[in-house]
Amino acid sequence: MAEFSDAFGVLSSGMRGQSQRLRHIAENIANVDTPGYRRKTVEFRAEVEQGRRTGGIETGPVQLRRGELPRINDPAHPMADAEGYYEGSNVELVTELADAREAQRSYEANLKMFEQVRRMSTQLMDILKR
């Protein structure tokens, strides 16, 4: 039975990680036109408890995309400088959408495995009930 509860823990850590990733993607998409906004990403790494890998994952600190922010020419914008330029965000919608699709796919795979493990443990319980 211990394998089942381990698997539940591992799979729920996977789902938690993927949903956090999806949340940051949503924030990025919402801020695609916010001046000076930098794209947020999280990194996945193996979860370690008491020096031992649990098999699950955890998310690292939120990272902001480095590099130049695009300079947009709009003299009427309240944040425009003397030359009429302001700094936009470095979010690319296409990248975000592709990333969101990948996160969703991984989340669904985790959920599917979760269902399967749950079904297996229910069947084992059914034998005990007889």
Binding residues for other proteins, per CB under 8 A? 3-4, 6-7, 10-11, 13-14, 17-18, 21, 43-46, 55-57, 102-103, 105-106, 109-110, 112-113, 116-117, 119-120, 123-124, 127, 130
Task: Yes or no: say if 89 and 35 are a contact pair by the CB < 8 Å rule.
Answer: yes
**Phi/psi-derived region of residue 115, left when phi > 0, alpha when psi is between -120 and 50, beta in every other case:** alpha
Q: How far is the CB of 123 from other proteins (least distance, A)?
A: 5
Given the complex with other proteins, which of 64 and 124 has the nearer CB atom?
A: 124
Alpha carbons 36 and 89: distance in angstroms, whole number: 5
Q: How far is the CB of 62 from other proteins (least distance, A)?
A: 16
Q: Which two tokens stand for residue 33?
A: 């036109």
Paired with 40 in beta bridges are 64
Given the complex with other proteins, which of 3 and 74 has the nearer CB atom?
A: 3
Give me the phi and psi of 46, to 5 degrees please: -70, 135
Q: Which two tokens stand for residue 46?
A: 């193996």
Task: Yes or no: say if 103 and 18 are a contact pair by the CB < 8 Å rule.
Answer: yes
Q: How far is the CB of 54 from other proteins (least distance, A)?
A: 9
Given the complex with other proteins, which of 94 and 128 has the nearer CB atom?
A: 128
Q: How far is the CB of 28 from other proteins (least distance, A)?
A: 17
Given the complex with other proteins, which of 91 and 103 has the nearer CB atom?
A: 103
